[in-house]
Amino acid sequence: MKSILSILMALSLTLVSYAGGSADKKDRTNATDPDDFPVPNEVPGLLFYIQRDPNTNTICYQLNVDKQGKLSEKNPVNTFWIRYPEGGVKKDLNYLQRKFAYGINSKAIGNASYELRSVAYSKLPLYLRRDNRNEYHVYTSIDKRECILKRVFIRIDGGTFWSPNVLYIELKGTEIATGKTIIQRIKPS
């Protein structure tokens, strides 16, 4: 639990930066519940996504395949923004965002599976692997249950550029054993 909190706190520090768009009044969302934020269903091969206050800009993690549908073994995850306040435009991460904030490092671990590590916090592994229908998902532990990760949401209420006031971090996924949606809110201490 502490390692999950640490990774998400590290991500929250980078998520409030201009990397995703500044938090001016025109970008603020009226959504108060994470479920009211837009869902990037239009993204083929979407693995999971990250959203946070103060706007609806979304970081998407997508399966990286070529035109023939073959997975890139060197770089299996493609990461990019969807800037909803700008009409839903898709934008690539810049160098600093890829290397220090939102990028993913991957390591093949055999059987077409990969261990993924966030560049912002490398202590918590995520696993990219196929399910019994041969479809890729990212797996992690949510509330001590093995789940397919769907969304990370970070609720921020003010603070500063380098020290945002994080009220909670929410993980949402689908439990492998039951198919139920599992949500875990972590409150910083």
Q: What is the rounded distance in angstroms from the CA atom of residue 65 to the CA atom of residue 84?
A: 24
Residue 186 lies in a domain: no
Among 93-97, 145-149, 163-167, name the one with the lowest average pLDDT.
Answer: 163-167
Residue 98 lies in a domain: yes
pLDDT tens digits for range 13-61: 444 444 444 444 344 445 578 889 999 999 999 999 999 888 899 999 9
The set of residues, in sequence order, having a beta carbon less than 8 Å from that of 67 and lying 6+ positions away, is none
Residue 16 lies in a domain: yes
Residue 7 lies in a domain: yes
Which percentage of the chain shows pLDDT scores above 70? 80
Residue 177 lies in a domain: no
- 52 vs 189 pLDDT, higher one: 52
Radius of gyration of the chain (CA): 16
Domain that holds residue 12: 2-138
- Entry pTM: 0.82
Query: Is the per-residue pLDDT at 163 higher than 60?
Result: yes
Give pLDDT, residue 96. Answer: 86
Q: How many domains does the chain have?
A: 1
pLDDT tens digits for range 61-82: 999 999 998 999 999 999 999 9
The set of residues, in sequence order, having a beta carbon less than 8 Å from that of 128 and lying 6+ positions away, is 47, 76, 77, 106, 113, 114, 115, 116, 136, 137, 138, 139
Residue 156 lies in a domain: no
Confirm if 146 and 131 have CB atoms less than 8 A apart.
no
Beta strand residue intervals within 28-180, DSSP E: 46-52, 55-63, 77-83, 89-92, 104-110, 113-118, 126-130, 136-142, 145-159, 164-175
How high does pLDDT run on average in the chain? 83
Residue 181 lies in a domain: no
Q: What is the per-residue burial (b if ≥16 Cβ within 10 Å, else e) of 35-46?
A: eebbebeebebe
